[in-house]
Chains A and B, each alone.
Chain A
Amino acid sequence: MLITCPYCGPRDVIEFTYQGDGNRERPQPASQNLDAWNAYVYDRLNPAGDHNEIWQHSGGCRAHLRVVRNTLTHEVLSTAFARGGHKTESRS
């Protein structure tokens, strides 16, 4: 499986670390809403198909990435920096 890092270009999946479901929304740290915290910690869509994920290019530029991956085919449909600001053109 190859993931195309927006900075480094296509790299083997072994260079990346999965950082979890990209659909989660973290409540404000001071939030007392237990349902929101429960959803953040436990609720997962677990789709058979396209899935929003957070990955880190830990064995490369160490940027955190938003990746859309198909959980059935492992096809990586898109990658982008998880946080804006550094707008660097991809080489590929």
Chain B
Amino acid sequence: MAEHQLPERQSPLEPEYHPGSHGNFEHGVDVILSETRPGSILQLAAWAGEEKRLIEVVRKVTGLALPDGAGGGVGNGARAAFGFAPGKFTVVDEAEGLAQAFAGAITPAIGTLTDLSHGRTAIRIAGPKAEWVMAKFFAIDFALPAFPLGAGRSTNHHDIFAQIQRSGADQFDIYVFRSFARSFWKALCHASEEVGYEVQ
């Protein structure tokens, strides 16, 4: 049987993606920027009252124990999930094909599944000054007690909608519309110049 061939995905950041150290890095690099390029980015939405059943489906399909609560999230390195709106969740996998894994599990009675793998770009910012740079972009509290590990937030930067998950004590994953990703990336690079940044 022939293998299912998926087209190779190209990065929208490519013309502006310059690996190496940039900006004011003489005294060290304080943030590391990268594109994580997950194979699957899904949006799951539960009908009103079906949230707990959807969370259970996420646990069965991905093994992720999604906490029930506003902006609750979890990650295990390869996979991540977080709530970004009432009854709505983003689920991410390094590997492609997560939508197929969910397809039979999310029944029409529970909610809906939207495959955004080609519609979002995932950017990671890590390092001791990650909170500082993020705070210049978004008017939300990035301190660890207010934005705990695994949690997700929906906000925007100059009308570019962003979903943010804290994937480490000093690391955030930002999901932006693919069509705006290059513009956002350039702005993020400019914002990181003052602290010295490395693109990996």
Task: List chain A positions with a Cβ less than 8 A from chain B.
Answer: 6-9, 11-12, 14-15, 59-63, 81, 84-86, 88-91
Contacts and interface: CB of A to CB of B under 8 A. Distances in A.
A89 B86 CA distance: 10
Given A12-B139, A60-B85, A60-B156, 4 more contacts: A8-B155, A61-B85, A62-B85, A86-B48
Contact of B49 (A15, A85, A88): A85
Contacts of A11: 139-140, 155
Interface string B63-85: 00000011100000000000011
Contacts, number: 52
A8 B71 contact: yes
A3 to B, nearest CB: 12
Contact of B156 (A6, A9, A15, A90): A15
A7 B48 contact: no
Contact of A8 (B48, B49, B88, B154): B154
B139 A8 contact: no
Given A89-B70, A91-B70, A60 B154 contact: yes
